Structure 1
């Protein structure tokens, strides 16, 4: 399915159904397929999964679209409005968790509860070797950025700590698939460079958001991978402590991308949280 938003066309999947709506937000250089495993286990819930313009999208955005972090957070809020989703459980991992935090800091009236899973937070922006490498590559012109991405065709390169190697233990097939739009579409490369440059120009954005998170008075579940080598476990504990109705769950045998490394456990936590 597709929806026309102010920045351009956004693809999404929607399982439908009368159950509570859960909206899943992916990270940088990822698409909505990140959530396929958990969604398959969440029958009975309405699972809505957009593919935002974060580098694995298939429809380039309009010229002049605001692709800054705050602009992308507003685009996510617009997505909820266009689909008229209310009392949403908003779930974000990696950069998606950063966008969720930005919405939380601005009240997010359509959001009833949130799940923050191993994500950028506080001063960890860009996060780890992967984030720093991407931000540096984003300084290149789109054509040269595309040449950089070409190296990721090789599994050995994708598995390096500067790529996806410290983000997922088991999800290499997904990471290879996410790269296809970047490799084939100049407009997607242009969008991705714009995202990276705008993010690099706002290094304090999540520190500023964190100052407002204590004002988010709705239920919040923080799920963190105990073996995460990109998002410090201490940040998960700090986020849970900041949120008035926050709770922390630590998950073993996973890197950052819990939906790939522990899809069944992640789905179980989301189901119990929405039911609670």
Structure 2
């Protein structure tokens, strides 16, 4: 089993974790705005060119797999968005020595209340996938609002078209074989979040859904070294919707966290 990675640039390594039904290519526009770093974009299991998500895989098990990758790539700085942020939080909780700097966009806390309509959308998708409905149709169902996961991309037609092409190529195997259930059953407790040692930045879209804005507040008051930046004119996928707006905050946070990585490795 292997995880597919794409790398760009030179400098300290940063691990990037994408959202559900996407792959590491979604970060390309943002990477171009962040020179001086070696960007490592992983395709999560079941996404892009990586191996399928194995039924029964738990969130801690997935985090352990990414920790192994982070060590191999010497990437102690982690950036993630949406469901990828849930994985990144688990990575920081379970493997504090491997995550010295953390940036999460559209923060997703395991076990927190979901945005209304999300569970119903997953059930619809799972039913269609089991019936053999093709990827084009599933992409349109998944990207429809509400819930407003992709609503912010409506203001960026070229981005929306690129994302639709990626989503249409998703296998949806994790819904057909139930593998997604292993991840969704985990819960991040207050003690878990208080134990995150990494210097943390949370990015949340001004127009993101209430559940995710609430998650950003919860992280700010619970994670010890955490600050929140609200991205104006952005929806749920704030980092890929508005790369130019978030790049300065990301660059500053990475630069602040990088000395801790160097100190840990000395």
Q: Which residue of 2 aligns with 1:41?
A: 33
Give the secondary structure class of the aligned counterpart of 1:206: coil
Give the secondary structure class of the aligned counterpart of 1:42: coil
Query: How is 1:1-276 mapped onto 2 (pairs within 5 angstroms)?
Result: 8-17=1-10, 19-54=11-46, 56-61=47-52, 67-83=57-73, 85-86=74-75, 88-121=76-109, 123-124=111-112, 126-129=114-117, 131-137=118-124, 139-140=126-127, 142-144=129-131, 146-147=132-133, 149-152=135-138, 154=140, 158-162=143-147, 164-166=149-151, 168-169=153-154, 170=156, 171-182=159-170, 188-193=171-176, 194-200=178-184, 202=185, 205-208=186-189, 210-229=190-209, 231-276=211-256
**Any conservation in 2 of the 1:138–1:197 contact (CA below 8 Å)?**
no
Cα offset for 1:91? 0.8
Give the secondary structure class of the aligned counterpart of 1:178: helix
Give the TM-score, by structure 2 length: 0.82
Runs of 4+ in 1 over 6 A off after TM superposition: none
Q: Report the number of matched residues.
A: 252
Q: Cα distance 1:73–1:160, how it changes in 2: closer, same or farther (>3 A)? A: same
Cα offset for 1:103? 1.3
Give the secondary structure class of the aligned counterpart of 1:199: helix
Q: Cα distance 1:79–1:230, how it changes in 2: closer, same or farther (>3 A)? A: farther
Q: Give per-residue Cα distances to partners, 1:198-254, cap 9 Å, x unaligned.
A: 234x1xx2333x421212223111111121026431220220121111111111111
- In 2: Cα distance, 1:264 partner to 1:124 partner: 30
The gaps in structure 1 that reach 5 residues or longer are: 1-7, 183-187
Cα offset for 1:26? 0.7
Q: Give per-residue Cα distances to partners, 1:85-118, cap 9 Å, x unaligned.
A: 14x2111110000001111221332211101111
**Any conservation in 2 of the 1:226–1:254 contact (CA below 8 Å)?**
yes
Give the secondary structure class of the aligned counterpart of 2:203: strand
- In 2: Cα distance, 1:235 partner to 1:189 partner: 27
- In 2: Cα distance, 1:157 partner to 1:107 partner: 32
The structure with more strand, counted as a fraction of residues:
1
- In 2: Cα distance, 1:167 partner to 1:136 partner: 23
The gaps in structure 2 that reach 5 residues or longer are: 257-266
**Any conservation in 2 of the 1:167–1:230 contact (CA below 8 Å)?**
no
Give the TM-score, by structure 1 length: 0.79
